[in-house]
Amino acid sequence: MGEHILVIDAGTTSTRAIAFTADGRAGPTAQRPLTQHYPRPGWVEHDANEIWQASLSCAREVIAALGGPDRIAAIGITNQRETVVAWDKASGEPVARAIVWQDRRTAEMCAAMKEAGREAEVQAATGLLLDPYFSATKIRWLRDHDAGVRDVPANRLAFGTVESWLTFKLTGGAHLSDASNASRTLLLRLDGAQLDADLCQWFGIDRQTLPQVVDTHGALAVTSAEVLGRPIALCALIGDQQAATIGQGCLTPGEAKATYGTGAFMLANMGQTLPRSDHRLLGTVLYQHGGQRTYALEGSAFVAGSLIQWLRDSLRIIGNAAETEALARSVEGSGEVVVVPALAGLGAPHWRADARGLIGGLSFASGRAEIARAALEAMAHQTHDLATAFAADGARWTRLRIDGGMSANDWMAQDIADILALTVERPAFVETTALGAAMLAAVGAGVHPSLNAAAAAMRGSVAEFTPAMADDVRAERLARWHRAVAQA
């Protein structure tokens, strides 16, 4: 029996494989970049075979580095969510390019459905909004417009998200999707065990072309012997943001994580309570075990690290992202300067696609240090607005665990703690997505008895940032921010 968990992380820009030990140490790693195809403005596609081949070669490379497949106890897959693959079950080959989550080609379809007045009903059922981001309209588009898809008889046609595609290839034919990925399709009721017949009908999708919904962890399937050298148990399937939430140890209701990468993604554990949002946050399945679900509430800010890239590449007031920290520390405050990073509209809880960014409060005393500091302060402000929306929807954050490239900024981490008046925690091991999938697979394989036990054994040390800001300073910062948001 092997002692390692092999995680395949099929992301948007690259595919990786990482081996973990039962105590959470990361071993050999392999990575392949993934080609992005942009056939038209607003369209984003991947080659599903490239995802499969990259996953397979990364997995084989890591297995070889460990000394063979006998060293692997179980496999966990985590993946970019919402992206749709279409394939022929008989040939095992993709029949169209995968439509990626970022793809906006179904915007008109979504607008028409919204106009028909169905969004409230869909949101209540699925936790999601009628947006091209989610899978259902992408599936419908492929069925209507792709000749390769239309040529395949319905009893041979398969649709699935990326974990579903990889599972099919690894097992040589199982057509499964886990509940966390299925909860991003618009076809799963938050309280429904399987994809919903009425929702499928409403989106015009043939139920027989869709996967069976299974737990996120457990004895889910077994790989075919020839793929990795011997049959290996597939013990976890989980969407990337849910995996990061588990990797951050957010296992109790109210525990929340924020990933600050290009954009910022926040998820809070809701326990067994069905998430319902009055603030356009998303309700989603965090994980499912033995048919029982734990839910999360999710919100995102479109612009986070991309604001820092903009300071570097367009304004050219910094040479690299890390320089913002020294600049922020070099001044007592941002003066009156406030940045609203609505460069691509405002996401949750505002949802104003037409909003535009602004830099306000400039005076002759404002220099690049004030602007850089105000840009970092904007991260705490956006996070505060989301925390307020989460609390209003029943998920009051008890502390915030951060990760992503931007979380390396200590000044920003402290500022977020100060503005939220909450302890902010940052793990030393920042690959929380892969770690989360490894934790689930370890529980799924019986290596650890529970997620709490897996977290205790596998999560490493953390740095803590405790709030130290005076209440009046915080109130003044937030008042200035809210005035600026109203202008944007």
Residues forming the site for ligand ADP (CB under 6 A)? 261-262, 305-306, 308-309, 321-322, 324-325, 404-406, 408-409
Minimum CB–partner distance for residue 324 and ligand ADP (Å) = 5
Of the candidates 257, 247, 378, 364, the residue with the CA atom closest to the CA atom of residue 310: 378
Minimum CB–partner distance for residue 81 and ligand ADP (Å) = 14
Task: Report whether 250 contacts 401 (CB < 8 A).
Answer: yes
Minimum CB–partner distance for residue 398 and ligand ADP (Å) = 24
Task: Pick between residue 227 and residue 317 the one whose CB is nearest to ligand ADP.
Answer: 317
Minimum CB–partner distance for residue 33 and ligand ADP (Å) = 12
Minimum CB–partner distance for residue 402 and ligand ADP (Å) = 11
Helices (H), 252-335: 305-310, 323-329
CA distance 464 to 303: 25
If DSSP codes are grouped into helix, strand and coil, which group holds residue 212?
strand
| C-beta nearest to ligand ADP: residue | 405
If DSSP codes are grouped into helix, strand and coil, which group holds residue 483?
helix
Task: Pick between residue 168 and residue 465 the one whose CB is nearest to ligand ADP.
Answer: 465
Minimum CB–partner distance for residue 112 and ligand ADP (Å) = 31
Contacts of 266 (CB under 8 A, 6+ apart): 256, 257, 258, 259, 298, 299, 300, 383, 386, 390
Task: Pick between residue 2 and residue 404 the one whose CB is nearest to ligand ADP.
Answer: 404
Minimum CB–partner distance for residue 321 and ligand ADP (Å) = 3
Using the CB atoms, write b or e for 342-352: b if 16+ within 10 Å: bbebbbbbbee
Minimum CB–partner distance for residue 101 and ligand ADP (Å) = 13
Which stretches of 204-318 are assigned E, i.e. beta strand? Answer: 212-214, 217-222, 233-239, 255-260, 264-271, 282-289, 292-301
Task: Report whether 4 contacts 73 (CB < 8 A).
Answer: yes
**Whole-angstrom distance between the N-terminal and C-terminal Cα of the chain?**
59
Task: Pick between residue 98 and residue 318 the one whose CB is nearest to ligand ADP.
Answer: 318
CA distance 339 to 411: 17
Structure tokens at 292: 């029982």
Task: Report whether 137 contacts 201 (CB < 8 A).
Answer: no
Task: Pick between residue 208 and residue 309 the one whose CB is nearest to ligand ADP.
Answer: 309
Task: Pick between residue 325 and residue 370 the one whose CB is nearest to ligand ADP.
Answer: 325
CA distance 486 to 340: 10
Task: Pick between residue 306 and residue 366 the one whose CB is nearest to ligand ADP.
Answer: 306
Task: Pick between residue 254 and residue 405 the one whose CB is nearest to ligand ADP.
Answer: 405
CA distance 319 to 290: 51
Task: Pick between residue 24 and residue 404 the one whose CB is nearest to ligand ADP.
Answer: 404
Task: Pick between residue 239 and residue 283 the one whose CB is nearest to ligand ADP.
Answer: 239
| DSSP type of residue 346 | B
Minimum CB–partner distance for residue 337 and ligand ADP (Å) = 17
Contacts of 78 (CB under 8 A, 6+ apart): 7, 8, 9, 10, 163, 236, 238, 239, 240, 243, 433, 434, 436, 437
Structure tokens at 380: 């705490």
Minimum CB–partner distance for residue 240 and ligand ADP (Å) = 10
